[in-house]
């Protein structure tokens, strides 16, 4: 079968989605999944369509189907779409009574989201908050902060209604160019490797490298857990990520390493090497990604990261990032803190 057939159905689904034909979009992407049952992008887009169609059960089943496809050979999933349909979970409202708290004293941590690029992301954040509370916050008392550029009262109330065990905190962010960047020379749309990134996206990338740690509300926290609107926790979290890092004297926890497309980051590795003329510091856990002094493009997925705030506010990092920042690759290229 032509490998391009599933992409044709997927692209058709995206066209239907763009013109508001949700039912047709779901049908087209389901057909793509029938053809290519191990493709991450197909699962992901189908889950997003179910979410946007307010079908939470189907969205959750689709995401679990993706996990299933990665745990077993594709031959064991002859019809992924049928598997998803059979395993749609009839979700009921979460129960918080009778739950035993996780062991240990809660670390001084905060959970942060940045919201929202569009209506779809706004809807996804409702789902992400629901799952976060159901599978983690019901037994922990961490503050959740929504960073935003201007949510109105109704939008805040809508998000606040999701959580039953605590109040959301909202913090306004003001994205702007640093003084050393000539705004008139920054492309409104940056085109690389078949993708395009807005100025707002590049502001966001810089914010999570620097601005987040300078916000006033962060002063009272030692740890942060960053989640995106589409970061979905699919089962009970049996441990506390903050406590786990703190007790093991670790600075950073992540969920996945991926390989960045080097077409979108020209000049980044040269800038890094210039800062370390005697070679990069030794890091056993990352050594396989720097064979013979060259970076293979590996990077952390940052839509699910937990870290000690001090790592990002202490001199070794701040001096290094100042060099990166001054190079202006964040705005003139797509240097950033997340994969494209």
Helices (H), the chain: 4-18, 22-35, 40-52, 56-71, 80-86, 119-135, 153-160, 199-209, 241-247, 268-275, 309-313, 315-327, 329-332
150 phi/psi in degrees, rounded to 5: 150, 50
State how beta strands 189-192 and 169-172 pair: unpaired
Find the range with the poorest average confidence among 59-73, 92-106, 168-182: 92-106
- Taking only the tens place, the pLDDT of each residue in 77-111 is 345 455 455 544 333 233 333 333 344 456 899 99
pTM: 0.78
Query: 336 burial class (0-12, 13-18, 19+ CB within 10 angstroms)?
Result: buried
Q: pLDDT band at 308, cuts 50/70/90?
A: very high
């Amino acid at each position: 079968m032509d490998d391009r057939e599933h992409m044709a159905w997927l692209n058709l689904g995206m066209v239907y989605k763009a013109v508001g034909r949700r039912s047709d979009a779901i049908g087209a992407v389901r057909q793509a999944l029938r053809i290519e049952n191990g493709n991450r992008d197909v699962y992901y887009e189908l889950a997003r369509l179910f979410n946007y169609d307010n079908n939470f059960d189907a969205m959750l089943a689709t995401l679990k189907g993706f996990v299933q496809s990665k745990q077993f050979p594709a031959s064991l999933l002859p019809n992924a779409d049928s598997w998803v349909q059979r395993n749609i979970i009839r979700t009921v409202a979460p129960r918080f009574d009778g739950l035993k708290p996780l062991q240990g004293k809660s670390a001084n941590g905060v959970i942060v989201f940045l919201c929202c690029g569009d209506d779809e992301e706004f809807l996804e954040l409702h789902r992400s908050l629901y799952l976060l509370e159901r599978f983690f916050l019901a037994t922990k008392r961490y503050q959740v902060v929504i960073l935003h550029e201007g949510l109105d009262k109704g939008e805040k109330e809508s998000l606040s209604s999701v959580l039953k065990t605590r109040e959301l905190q909202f913090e306004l962010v003001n994205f702007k160019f640093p003084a050393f960047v000539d705004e008139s020379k920054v492309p409104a749309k940056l085109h690389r490797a078949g993708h395009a990134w807005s100025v707002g996206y590049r502001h966001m990338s810089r914010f999570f490298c620097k601005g987040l740690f300078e916000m006033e509300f962060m002063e009272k926290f030692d740890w942060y857990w960053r989640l995106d609107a589409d970061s979905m926790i699919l089962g009970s979290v049996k441990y506390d990520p903050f406590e786990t890092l703190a007790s093991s004297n670790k600075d950073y926890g992540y969920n996945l390493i991926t390989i960045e497309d080097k077409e979108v980051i020209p000049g980044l590795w040269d800038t890094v090497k210039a800062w370390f003329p005697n070679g990069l510091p030794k890091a056993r856990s990352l050594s396989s990604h720097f064979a013979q002094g060259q970076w293979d493009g590996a990077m952390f997925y940052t839509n699910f990261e937990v870290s000690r705030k001090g790592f990002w506010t202490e001199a070794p990092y701040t001096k290094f990032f100042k060099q990166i920042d001054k190079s202006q690759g964040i705005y003139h290229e797509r240097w950033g803190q997340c994969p494209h």
